[in-house]
Amino acid sequence: MIPAGAIESVRATLDEIVRRSAEICRRTGRDAVQIMEVCGTHTMSFAASGLRGMLPDTVRLLSGPGCPVCVTTPGDVDRAVWFARQPGVTLVTFGDMMKVPGSAGSLSDARALGADVRMAYSPADALELARGDPQREFIFLGVGFETTAPLVAATVRAAAREGIRNFSVFPLFKLVPPALRAILARRDHHIDGFILPGHVSAIIGLDPYRFVADEFGVPGIIAGFEPFDLLEALPMLLRLCRQEKAAIDIQYTRGVPAGGNPAALRILKEFFLPAEAVWRAVGAIPDSGLAFRPEYDAFNAVRKFPGMPAHDPPEPKGCLCGAILMGRILPADCPLFGAACTPETAVGPCMVSSEGACAAAYKYGLTETSRWKKSRRRQEVAVRS
Amino acid sequence: MCLAIPGRIIERTGTMGRADFGGLVRAVALDLLPDAEVGDVVLIHAGFAIQTVDLSMEPEIAERLIAR
Amino acid sequence: MNEANGRILLAHGAGGRLTHELIESLFVRRFDNKPLAALDDSAELKLPDDCRIAFTTDGYVVKPIEFPGGDIGRIAVCGTVNDLAMLGARPLGLSVALILEEGLERETLNRIVDSMADAAKEAGVELVTGDTKVVERGAASGLYIVTSGVGMIPYGLSLSGRNARVGDAVLVSGTLGDHGITVMNAREGLGFEGDLRSDAAPLNGLVENMLSVHSSVRVLRDLTRGGLATALNEISRASGVLIEIEETAVPVRNSVLAGCQMLGLDPLYVANEGKLVAMVDETYASGVLRAMRDHPRGREAVRIGTVLKGEAGVVMRTPIGGARRLLMLDGDPLPRIC
């Protein structure tokens, strides 16, 4: 049980959120402060902790593009499936990517049809598979953001040092700051502040976000993932929103030094060059991906297995995931949401991923929660009387 | 977008180590934290330590997270 | 010595001498009971007059076939005994069909059938009829087991997912997620060390204890695939009630929680093989809890929530005073890093 004092402090924090957001709304003349949580794990924390449903109407959370499942294009899934179907090849992936549909099915479907697709918790485990079976080729599906890319680089370094030749990576990494720039560059974004991803920041630190405040005048807080982290981060952000000059600050100080992780940043530089990447439903963003430096071609699956299909199937008709990921509309504003598009019949990426904005909105449905609150209040009254 | 949970390093040999997550122990790669030592609490993402948790910041919270 | 010695061959399933030897050595010696020893085509069971029967069947294909805390044989017995127990039925007899992959080591098979015998003894149930078949190498993964069970429902007892009533207490018999995380760790080679163990166990003894407390138990459900959240959703729909649970009250072992967090899984959706949830008349809830804690399979039993009036659904109150809807599991939970 949570001690009464803790609940009291939650109430006090919520009161502060109510007060400060209302004040900002009065000043801006808008109905809500719009806060984008960039990271899918934050989306989940807000929903699973129940905090999302406790926030006042004057705070509106927008779920950003920080979920690799959401931003991997169907074309890239098709290419991963193509790799998995090459003779003598095992494709190793994080479980996250198994069910993401491409134009001709997911990796899970490919496995059902005979392709050798395996899940791994760590890229180091994928390398271990390669060590144990030198006759087979192992390709690791390199998805993720700045948090994950250094791990894969370290794994490639280990493979290079040991002279392991049957291991390569299909790089689909994406970078957060360029995506924020793409969002902010559009005039119609309506974002008042960012909750910035804690574990990406554990690697890159604070500096790469400075442009968000300096060039675009939007504040941001780097936050942790526990409910109490979010409860601390929101008032911090609202306080920044009031300031004349926008700034970026860190709530998650226990895990994010301002300088990030220098060793991880070094290894990223050593192995990768920034490259244009295509974000699902958003499009191409310059320098928002990572390509292997040419000296590591031997570990680049794209070089090692020529002939990868270049075709990119069109996005599903009517799907507004792009606008949702960019913070321009809410899931419920999409005509497909909850009708043609549900977790069982997901049309767009935000519903496919369990972390996606639409899946979270559907699963932890706010309308249902408020209905529950009402019936709960009635029964409490009944018990008391 | 990235799950990472705190664990305490209980062993280190070169770039490999083992970390304790409140009763669950797993091998962790320490390539990205060359200075990490036994006893440090680190954030683990996909089998790699990515950052040292600064226990001085919020000691109670950090301890609670590891010991739960 | 031939390498095939000590392994299962196709001939073991051909119905001839080898088949007989296998059945004799596997079953008759271990499961010494009259109906089985007769080796007739069916087992004959004696029933009291006017008795209601519970009848259930289940297939077991778990991979790997052996894991900390259990194996496919143990869960094949426990799973079927538990399905009977959830109706309050006392098991009368089980049938077992083994589908063996050619080349399976006899040693392994012996261990698994021993484990079935132990579990059956623990549950106080007899294995009264069985069958073995052998399939070509590659056509199965080690072995599969299908068990069916017949049980007798005590006079006047009616347990069903439809019976939950507003005001009922929601009880669970112990920690959640142990089995699912243990098996996933073994299957996917996740490298977790520590006290992870499957909870596979027969629950009929625990249920007997619970039913001895007045006629206060309305619903029992074992928390296998889909975990607690899925079971509560099924009950909520069948009974047309809202179920509310308290997150801080739900028991999860530290190591299981750590494993779940590392893999992005929710212990409320992870499978168990020796846990149940019960909806119990509020008035007798503490008595039922005491009865549960008196049984080795219910030492850590706790109350986690209450049945409320409202639209069917499951809501969990969170430690910060919020609420979260719990939906049914969709798809297979996969380990993830994001």
Q: Quote ipTM for the complex.
A: 0.93
Which pLDDT score is estimated for C296? 97
Domains of chain B with CATH codes: 5-67 (2.30.30.140)
Residue A88's contacts (CB-CB under 8 Å, 6 or more residues apart) are A135, A136, A137
Which pLDDT score is estimated for C235? 97
- In angstroms, rounded to a whole number, what is the distance separating the alpha carbons of residues C312 and C162? 12
Residue pair A36/A194 in contact by the 8 Å Cβ criterion: yes
User: Looking at residues C70-77, what average pLDDT do you find?
Assistant: 98
Among C77, C261, C267, residue whose Cα is nearest residue C174: C267
Helix (H) or strand (E) holding C73: helix C72-85
Which pLDDT score is estimated for C135? 96
In chain B, which residues touch A (CB < 8 A)?
A: 1-4, 29, 31-34, 43, 45-48, 50-51, 53-55, 57-58, 61-62, 65
How would you classify the pairing of strands C169-172 and C217-222?
unpaired
Q: How confident is the model at residue C329 (pLDDT cuts 50, 70, 90)?
A: confident
User: Looking at residues C275-294, what average pLDDT do you find?
Assistant: 97
C41 touches chain B (CB under 8 A): no
End-to-end CA distance of chain A: 26
Q: Which of C191, C325, C327 sits opposite A369 (nearest CB)?
A: C325
Hey, how many other C-beta atoms are within 10 angstroms of the C-beta on A132? 9
Which of chain A's residues have a Cβ under 8 Å away from the Cβ of C262?
121
The answer to whether A47 contacts C324, with C-beta atoms less than 8 Å apart, is yes
| Digitized pLDDT (tens) for each residue of chain A, 385 residues in all | 345 567 788 999 999 999 999 999 999 999 999 999 999 899 989 988 999 999 999 999 998 999 888 899 999 999 999 999 999 999 999 998 998 888 888 999 999 999 999 999 999 999 999 999 999 999 999 999 999 999 999 999 999 999 999 999 999 999 999 999 999 998 778 899 999 999 999 999 999 999 999 999 999 999 999 999 999 999 999 999 988 899 999 999 999 999 999 999 999 999 999 999 999 888 999 999 999 999 999 999 999 999 999 998 888 888 898 888 888 888 888 999 988 998 878 888 888 877 788 887 887 764 444 444 555 555 544 443 3
Q: Cα–Cα–Cα angle for A234, A237, A241, nearest 5°?
A: 135
3-state secondary structure of A369: helix
Q: How confident is the model at residue B68 (pLDDT cuts 50, 70, 90)?
A: very low
Residue type, B55: L
Domains of chain C with CATH codes: 10-41+49-153 (3.30.1330.10), 161-326 (3.90.650.10)
- In angstroms, rounded to a whole number, what is the distance separating the alpha carbons of residues C93 and C56? 11
> Which structure tokens are listed for C53?
């029967």
Identify the weakest region by mean pLDDT among A1-5, C7-11, C250-254, C273-277.
A1-5
Domain ranges in chain A are: 70-175+260-304
Distance of CA C310 to the CA centre of its chain: 30
Omega prior to A178 cis, within 30 of 0:
no
Q: How confident is the model at residue C28 (pLDDT cuts 50, 70, 90)?
A: confident
Which of chain C's residues have a Cβ under 8 Å away from the Cβ of A99?
331, 334
3-state secondary structure of C274: coil
The per-residue pLDDT of chain A, averaged, comes to: 90
Which pLDDT score is estimated for A55? 95
The per-residue pLDDT of chain C, averaged, comes to: 93
A276: left (phi over 0), alpha (psi -120 to 50) or beta: beta
CA atoms within 13 A on the CB side of C293: 11
- In angstroms, rounded to a whole number, what is the distance separating the alpha carbons of residues C176 and C249? 12
Q: How far is C152 from chain B (nearest CA, A)?
A: 42
E strands, C260-338, in order: 276-280, 302-308, 313-317, 323-326
Could you give the C-alpha distances from A272 to A97, A127, A153, A264, A291, in angstroms and in order?
22, 19, 8, 12, 5
Could you give the C-alpha distances from A228 to A47, A299, B61, C130, C338, in angstroms and in order?
14, 42, 10, 56, 20
Q: Which of A38, A40, A261 sits opposite B32 (nearest CB)?
A: A261
Chains touching chain B at 3 or more Cβ pairs under 8 angstroms?
A, C
Which pLDDT score is estimated for C46? 83
Identify the weakest region by mean pLDDT among B52-56, C5-9, C331-335.
C331-335
Residue with tokens 């219910």: C298
pLDDT tens digits, C121-144: 999 999 999 999 999 999 999 999
Residue A312's contacts (CB-CB under 8 Å, 6 or more residues apart) are A73, A74, A75, A278
Q: Which of A39, A197, A255 sits opposite B51 (nearest CB)?
A: A255
Q: Which of B4, B29, B58 sits opposite A124 (nearest CB)?
A: B29
- DSSP letter string, B33-55: -TT--TT-EEEEETTEEEEE--T
C336 touches chain B (CB under 8 A): yes
Residue pair C77/C125 in contact by the 8 Å Cβ criterion: yes
Distance of CA C26 to the CA centre of its chain: 23
The answer to whether C324 contacts A50, with C-beta atoms less than 8 Å apart, is yes
- In angstroms, rounded to a whole number, what is the distance separating the alpha carbons of residues A50 and C199? 30
Which pLDDT score is estimated for A365? 62
Q: What is the DSSP letter of C64?
A: S
- In angstroms, rounded to a whole number, what is the distance separating the alpha carbons of residues C110 and C26? 7
Strand order in the sheet with C276-280: C217-222, C276-280, C169-172, C302-308, C242-246, C313-317, C323-326
Topology given in CATH for the domain delimited by A70-175+260-304: Rossmann fold (3.40.50)
- Asked if residue C212 has pLDDT above 90, the reply is yes
A51 touches chain C (CB under 8 A): yes
Which of chain C's residues have a Cβ under 8 Å away from the Cβ of B3?
261-262, 264, 336-338
Read off φ and ψ for residue A144, nearest 5 degrees. 130, 180
The answer to whether A267 contacts B32, with C-beta atoms less than 8 Å apart, is yes
Residue C68's contacts (CB-CB under 8 Å, 6 or more residues apart) are C182, C186, C196, C197, C198
Q: How far is A20 from chain C (nearest CA, A)?
A: 20
Which pLDDT score is estimated for C164? 97
Q: Which of C193, C253, C261 sits opposite B26 (nearest CB)?
A: C193
Residue pair C256/C267 in contact by the 8 Å Cβ criterion: yes
A83: left (phi over 0), alpha (psi -120 to 50) or beta: alpha
> Which structure tokens are listed for A1?
């049980």
- In angstroms, rounded to a whole number, what is the distance separating the alpha carbons of residues A151 and A40? 20
A123 touches chain B (CB under 8 A): yes
Residue pair B20/B10 in contact by the 8 Å Cβ criterion: yes
> Which structure tokens are listed for C16?
């001839």
Q: Which of A50, A121, A379 sits opposite C320 (nearest CB)?
A: A50
Read off φ and ψ for residue B13, nearest 5 degrees. -135, 110
- In angstroms, rounded to a whole number, what is the distance separating the alpha carbons of residues C72 and C59? 10
Among A173, A235, A172, A240, residue whose Cα is nearest residue A200: A173
Which pLDDT score is estimated for A343? 82
Helix axis angle, C204-211 relative to C285-293, nearest 10°?
Answer: 140
The residues pairing with C11 across neighbouring beta strands, listed in sequence order, are: none
Which pLDDT score is estimated for C177? 97
